[in-house]
Amino acid sequence: MSSIVIQFLNGLAGASALFLVAAGLSLIFGVTRIVNFAHGSLYMLGIYIAYSAIGWASGSDGPGPMGFWGGVLVSAIAVGATGALTEMLLLRRIYGAPELFQLLATFGVVLVLKDFALWVWGPEDLLGPRAPGLQGSVAILGQAFPTYDLVLIAIGASVLCALWLLLRRTRWGMLVRAATQDREMVGALGVNQKWLFTAVFALGSALAGLGGALQIPREPAQLLLDLSVIADAFVVVVVGGMGSVPGAALAALIIAEIKSFCVGIGQLDVLGFTVSLPKLTLVVEFIVMAIVLVARPWGLLGRAPGPQRVFAGGHEQPLQPAVRSALLAILALLAAVPFIANGYTVVLLIDILVFALFAASLHFLMGPAGMASFGHAAYFGLGAYGAALLVKAAGFPMETALLSAPFVAAAGAALFGWFCVRLSGVYLAMLTLAFAQIAWSVVFQWDTFTGGSNGIVGVWPSPWLASGSAYYYVALTLCGCGIWLLRRIVLSPYGFALRAGRDSPLRCDAIGIDLVRMQWVAFIVAGTCAGLAGAIYAFSKGSISPETLSIPLSVDGLVMVLLGGVQTASGPVVGAALFTWLQDTVARNTDYWRALLGGIIIALVLLFPQGIVGFIRQRFGRSGSL
Amino acid sequence: MSMAAMLSARRLIAYYGQAQILSDVSLDVASGEVALLLGRNGAGKSTTLKTLIGLVPMAGGEVVFRGERIDGLRPYQIAQRGLGYVPEDRRIFTDLTVSENLEVGRQPARKGLPAWTVKQLYKLFPNLAEMSARPASQMSGGEQQMLTIARTLMGNPACVLLDEPSEGLAPVIVDAMVAAIKEMKSQGLAVLLSEQNLHFAEDVADRAYIIEKGSIRFCGGVSELRDNDSVRSACLAL
């Protein structure tokens, strides 16, 4: 009995932390419709700033002159100011751009903030001070419970109450709630949204900063927090219903309690199998999210959004003769590369080819099929692991494994896609993220089969393909065929139906097109091609790790597609080439390649809100077929 | 009449994407006057009103409101200058209560213009008074229509753009709309009323414009229009 109470309290403390960061994200999304990837970075900044502000870094034994709580407050305010500044300098300029570009811009901010933290605080984990007077524990039903966690619970509850009062009892809160539903109408009633948006950003960011700063006695400040926290926060926001603060509180509570009890119960024997529940905590929130989204597509307390258009799709057309000849010339040039360039260039080009196919498959989903995926790396990784395991565990010849691995990814895409295509817009994107995280966590934890965090080594091509240039031709052929196939499908009757479904789902329904099945097939096609890219990647590197299906790789894919321009078929290829080359070049020349890349992304978004190829097309007339 | 015009639009042009919706719309509304914008479905009535409030970007033409050019301004700037907009689809904030909806519309009082209070508006729309704490999601269509007009009046506008307020409403609610429009008129407001329902509109309007395929085809007094069968059958009959 007493241990149940303790687990429950543990859950409450976890919920309090989750709620603080998720409430801010939900508020920001509700009003500005911006999916703020940088929210986790603001949380990370909150921990770091609190660390310095409290004064631990000065070398003294205890908090500096500001004291613990002063430092926490300073951190929240500083992070709030950072958020407001980001909104005013960057996001304010791109509210009119497609939603996915706003996402790309916030991802640029993630990269910049990460390197800012690296530059200021260094790569080591930093352990902060305990709160004065709260280091001990109190006895609850005979069991010790950390005093600080009790305070954390109280703070979470107070912030919830304060937010509730702010939203319900003030004119500002009324405007926020009204704008969450229909911001255009709020503007037509004479309210200047500019400052409303900035204020919401400042408040949401300050909450993230506060959430981070309050964790300083519980976990070290480190650079990986940004993406792990943003994944958690997204899940809470989506489960609760985007834009709903009470929803965020409810979802945080459910997820944190389930996690806490998983840890508390430990091993469980089910039908003779031993299930380790603590290991489940890595995915439990994503499982909860998958269940909630399938049952209630707009979250527990969310509302059905109006018709969402993630972006305006392109009008893919057959190639014109001039472009066709240009493409053949480029292909010929690529085929000649091993004779004219050095080995390093060949290796880099294999990477570029792999990611071009990966990005093209993601573009197929996002462009013609109109579904944004935040977890596309799952299929890349399934292909890579499929290839490696077919060789290592099943003893297939390398060639067979390379060609069979895409079907492993296809199976995964068929399973995950069946659920995803039942949603739309941001919710669909979040579910793809959830499934990718589940896949990652299975691979990461299943040491005996997948090698766990070490991955699988010694995945080499057959001897006749062992030379760099031989494998280059394999990659060129397979990636070329994959991209050609994707384009062929877009221009087929099936592709027409898919694009029609993207542009007017209701009309498609009315003329007898089964849109859900169409989208499911699109999901499988895209997954298969991503899997092929993953398989080629595995044999080109000789080893693979869980990173091949992690969130950062999914985000890389998004960046490639959006960088090139989602409205054009060649966009993802150009974007992948540019991104891979930039990452390679910049990373070799500076420790702060992320900040540079982030800066470039932000500059590109501000300069070319239609993507690079989209810009060229707009600027230099419709060559029509780019 | 254009000398006294409070709102004056000249040669408005507007597009939705590639499709041209307005090609030549010029109209004037004076203080204390109800001007009627008549036309079939898809003729450009709603787009005209949305262009005036700034929700649809203007591709050409100019708009002068109370002696000041307002074309190119943001919707909130236009609203702050005293132009009120009542959308056809009402766009009530259903998460908010009735009184909260009114509060969102609140703007400072303007010199020389009627300053509406919640109390006055509840008197004008007695149904609203009885449900001031009710979430707007639980209102009937007619009640929502009253709320959307009351919300716009909370901004103390000098001129109100009313987009098809009688659409789909029961006759008893339509009577309440007529009373509200007459009250606005008596307070010296300018009203631009877009309608398909000529019978409702004839009661309150002073002058009428007929819009077809994005341009104004007729401009004249309501009685003139009543007697002009050829215009009515050409531009209004289904």
Query: Checking DSSP bridges between strand B190-195 and strand B159-163, what pairing results, if any?
Result: parallel
Residue A475 pLDDT: 92
B76–A175 CB contact, under 8 Å: no
A190/B80 CB distance under 8 A: yes
Which helix (H) or strand (E) segment holds residue A104: the answer is helix A99-121
Q: Which residues of B touch A184 (CB under 8 A)?
A: 55, 75
Residue A95 confidence (pLDDT) = 81
pLDDT tops 50 at residue A310: no
- Select the residue from B18, B91, B147, B156 to test the A interface by mutation, using most A Cβ atoms within 10 A: B91
Q: In chain B, where are the structural domains located?
A: 5-235
Report, as an integer, the average pLDDT of A314-326.
Answer: 76
Tens-digit pLDDT profile for residues A353-398: 999 999 999 999 988 888 888 899 999 999 999 999 998 888 889 8
- ipTM exceeding 0.90, yes/no: yes
* CB atoms A180 and B95 under 8 Å: yes
Q: How many domains does chain A have?
A: 2
- pLDDT of B82 reads 94
Residue A624: pLDDT above 70? no
**Shortest Cα–Cα distance, A175 to chain B (Å):** 6
Whether residue A326 is predicted with pLDDT greater than 60 in this model: the reply is yes
Strand intervals (E) in A381-520? 456-457
Q: What pLDDT score was predicted for residue B2?
A: 44
Over residues A346-363, the pLDDT tens digits come to: 889 999 999 999 999 999
Section A312-316 average pLDDT: 61
The per-residue pLDDT of chain A, averaged, comes to: 86
Q: Is residue A578 part of a domain?
A: no
pLDDT of residue A626: 40
Lowest pLDDT segment from A108-112, A439-443, B69-73, B106-110: A439-443
| Alpha carbons A613 and A591: distance in angstroms, whole number | 30
Nearest CA in chain A to B93: A178
Better pLDDT: A320 or B178: B178
What's the rounded Cα separation, in Å, for the pair A29 and B174? Answer: 39
Please give the pLDDT value at position A113: 95
Quickly state the pLDDT bin for B118 (edges 50, 70, 90).
very high
Q: Report residue A138 CA to chain centroid gap.
A: 39
Which of B52, B100, B156 to mutate to test binding with chain A, by most A CBs within 10 Å of its CB? B100
Contact A209, A46 (CB under 8 A): yes
Q: A140 — phi, psi (to 5°)?
A: -125, 115
Q: For A217, phi and psi rounded to 5 degrees?
A: -75, -10
**What is the domain range of residue A393?**
321-550
Instruction: Give every CB contact of residue A194 below 8 A, 6+ residues apart in sequence.
Output: A92
Q: Considering A497, A527, A550, which residue would you say is the last residue of a domain?
A: A550
Comparing A48-57, A285-294, A311-320, A499-508, which segment has the lowest mean pLDDT?
A311-320
| Residue A27 included in any domain | yes
Residue A470 lies in a domain: yes
Q: Is B205 in contact with B219 (CB distance < 8 Å)?
A: no
Q: B105 to chain A: which residues are within 8 Å by CB?
A: 189-190
pLDDT of A33 reads 81
Look at residue A289 and tell me whether its pLDDT is greater than 90: no
**Cβ contacts (< 8 Å) between A193 and chain B: which residues?**
76
Q: What does the pLDDT read at residue B1?
A: 43
Please give the mean pLDDT across all residues of chain B.
90
Share of chain B above pLDDT 70, in %: 96
Higher-pLDDT residue of A76, A137: A76
The minimal CB distance from B93 to the residues A182, A190, A192 is found for A182
**Has residue A289 been placed in a domain?**
no
Tokens of A552: 């950062």
Give yes or no: residues A252 and A369 share one domain.
no
Q: Can you tell me the mean pLDDT for A272-282?
A: 73
What pLDDT is recorded for position B184? Answer: 93
* Cβ contact B80–A182 (<8 Å): no
**A399 neighbors A462 (Cβ within 8 angstroms):** yes
Torsions phi, psi of B187, nearest 5?
A: -85, 0
Hey, is A231 helix, strand or coil? helix
Contact: A191, B104; criterion CB under 8 Å: yes
Give me the pLDDT at residue A423, please. 82
Distance of CA B19 to the CA centre of its chain: 24
Least Cα distance to A75 among A20, A124, A29 occurs for A20
Query: Tokens 């007077």 identify what position?
Result: A133
Q: Retrieve residue A360's tokens.
A: 């093209």
The reply to whether A171 and A256 lie within a common domain is: yes
Smallest Cβ–Cβ distance between A190 and the set B95, B96, B107 belongs to B107
Q: pLDDT (tens digit, 9 = 90+) per residue, A249-273?
A: 999 999 999 988 888 887 777 777 7
Instruction: Please write the tens of the pLDDT for every residue from A10-23.
Output: 999 999 989 999 99
Give pLDDT tens digits for B2-30: 457 899 999 999 998 788 999 999 999 99
Give the one of A178, A190, A191 whose C-beta lies nearest to B96's C-beta: A178
Residue-wise pLDDT tens digits, B142-162 = 999 999 999 999 999 999 999
Contact check, Cβ <8 Å, B75/A174: no
Residues A572-611 have pLDDT tens digits of: 888 899 888 888 887 777 778 788 888 888 888 888 776 6
What is the C-alpha to C-alpha distance for residues B211 and B167, in angstroms, rounded to an integer? Answer: 18
Please indicate whether, in this complex, the C-beta atoms of A193 and B105 are within 8 angstroms of each other: no
pLDDT at position A61: 56
Q: Specify the pLDDT at position A306.
A: 55
Helix (H), strand (E), coil (C) string for B52-93: HHCCCCEEEEEEEECCEECCCCCHHHHHHCCEEEECCCCCCC
Spatial distance between the Cα atoms of A390 and A47, rounded to a whole number of angstroms: 44
Contact A188 B151 (CB under 8 A): no
The stretch A542-559 carries a mean pLDDT of 87
> Does a structural domain hold residue A613?
no
Chain B residues with CB within 8 Å of chain A CB:
53-55, 74-77, 79-80, 85, 87, 91, 93-96, 100-101, 103-107, 151-152, 155
Q: Decide which of 3.40.50.300, 1.10.287.610, 3.30.70.1060, 3.40.50.10490 is the CATH code for B5-235.
A: 3.40.50.300
The residue of chain B nearest to residue A175, with distances taken between CA atoms, is B104
CA gap A316, A589 in Å, rounded = 38
**More confident: A51 or A128:** A51
**Listed residues A550, A575, A599: the one ending a domain:** A550
Interface touch A174/B95, C-beta < 8 Å: no
- CA–CA distance, A244 with A293 (Å, rounded to integer): 15
Of A185, A190, A191, the CB nearest to B91: A185
* Closest among A408, A444, A364 to A532, alpha carbons compared: A408
Percentage of chain A beyond pLDDT 70 is 93
Span A228-253, average pLDDT: 89
* Per-residue three-class SS string for A195-224: HHHHHHHHHHHHHHHHHHHHCCCCCCECCC
User: What is the rounded CA–CA span in Å between residue A178 and residue A197?
Assistant: 13
Determine whether the interchain pair A182/B85 forms a contact, defined as Cβ–Cβ distance below 8 Å.
no
Q: Which residues of B touch A305 (CB under 8 A)?
A: none
Query: B-chain residues within 8 Å CB-CB of A190?
Result: 76, 79-80, 105, 107, 155
CB A235 within 8 A of CB A430: yes
Angle at A262 between CA A261 and CA A265, to 5 degrees: 75
* Nearest CA among A243, A98, A214 for reference residue A605: A98
Considering only CB atoms, B155 lies closest to which of A180, A182, A190, namely: A190
Searching chain A, which residue's CA lies closest to the CA of residue B90?
A185
| Strand (E) or helix (H) holding A563 | helix A551-564
Put simply, the answer to whether B100 touches A182 (Cβ < 8 Å) is: no
* Residue A216 belongs to a domain: yes
SS3 label, residue B11: strand
Give the DSSP per-residue string, A582-618: HHHHHHHH-TTHHHHHHHHHHHHHHH-TT-HHHHHHH
Higher pLDDT, A431 or A523: A523
Tell me which residue of B20, B44, B41, B40 sits closest to B234, measured CA to CA: B40
A383 and A248 in a common domain: no
What pLDDT score does A623 carry?
42
> Are the C-beta atoms of residues B39 and B232 closer than 8 Å to each other?
no
Most confident of A201-205, A490-494, A570-574: A201-205
How confident is residue A314, by pLDDT bands cut at 50, 70 and 90?
low
Query: CA end-to-end span of chain B, whole Å?
Result: 31
By CA distance, what is B152's nearest residue in A?
A189
CB A206 within 8 A of CB A43: no
Of B53, B95, B107, the CB nearest to A177: B95
From A172-176, A223-227, B192-196, the region with the lowest mean pLDDT = A223-227
Decide if A585 is inside a domain.
Answer: no
User: Nearest-5° angle of CA A417, CA A422, CA A427?
Assistant: 90
Structure tokens at A626: 């780019």
Does B105 sit within 8 Å of A185, measured CB to CB? no
DSSP code of residue A579: H
Residue A605 vs residue A493, higher pLDDT: A493
B174 CA: distance to closest CA in chain A (Å) = 24
How far B227 CA sits from the closest chain A CA (Å)? 37
pLDDT value of position A93: 87
Domain boundary among A220, A242, A262: A262
B164 or A268: which carries more pLDDT confidence? B164
